Amino acid sequence: MQRHARRRHFLMCPPLHFDVIYAMNPWMNVGVPVDRGRALAQWTTLVETYRRYGHQVDLLDPVPGLVDMVFAANGATVVDGKVLGARFASPYRQGEAEFHNAWHRAHHSAYALPGTSLTTAVAEPGAVNEGEGDFAILADRILAGYGFRTSREAHQELATLAGSQVVSLQLVDPRFYHLDVALAVLDDLAEHIAYYPPAFSPASQRTLQRLYPDAVIATEPDAVLLGLNGVSDGLHVFVPAGAGHLIEELGRAGYETIPIDLSELAKSGGSIKCCTQEIRPAPRRDPQRTS
């Protein structure tokens, strides 16, 4: 199958205050020091790479004390120009939500339908959700994770806001605490994904097998390197460096892979996708391709 890139719009936050001072997942170890300068350099390379491939990157100002704010994917979910804000499960991260909401209120007119009110454009969540950490957006449906960070009630909130079918998937391995470290969207229009089956309950594995028989299957070494925490524009897959088997399989499936080293940020259990919130504008007739 011939793959095509489409220009994307991302919101990201510099890791100026990044640190590991608490442990919310098995990857976090407060006894391992963080090199903030190295984290910033790696993150800057990711931003520059996105821009080099034609994608728009906007920046959210980091806030002192919010050490995980670099993981911007968790701050909101944007579908067709409509925003569902985050409501973090952990008290350590709850303060991030207001800054994401403020950014979207200030900028929503650039990607929402003309005349959309702030109330309609940026919805305050009632249930706990951690944004795109647990929501994967495809053309015909939304895949939604639960089990560790996002409640199933939030799935219905997003379904109502987006007017889309939401498929709930249960995460069972604490190493893969968010959907975006267990599953990656490769081509949203073609409904093509990659995932690591043991991260999901048996019932959810059967659902994924039924819906996506042509999915790329990751191995455990891929998954523990956070290899599935990548971003794709439909052709180019920005993938964590080192996920060798997954990179080979993506190539066989017709994608061009761009390995990125975010090993310093991985000390907090996050990588490329965790750093990248996608702004999906209100529908246009002809999605713009970058190649």
Residues classed as catalytic? 178, 274
Q: What is the per-residue burial (b if ≥16 Cβ within 10 Å, else e) of 152-175?
A: eebbebbbebbebebbbbbbebeb
Among 280, 286, 283, 282, which Cα is nearest to 55's? 280
Phi–psi pair at 128, nearest 5 degrees: -70, 125
Cβ partners under 8 Å of residue 221, min gap 6: 243, 244, 245
Alpha-carbon gap, residue 115 to 202, rounded angstroms? 45
DSSP state, residue 129? B
Q: Give the type of residue at 284.
A: R
Structure-block tokens of residue 212: 């996506």
Alpha-carbon gap, residue 173 to 87, rounded angstroms? 22
Alpha-carbon gap, residue 11 to 278, rounded angstroms? 6
Alpha-carbon gap, residue 159 to 140, rounded angstroms? 12
Handedness of CA 222, 42, 19, 134 (dihedral sign): negative
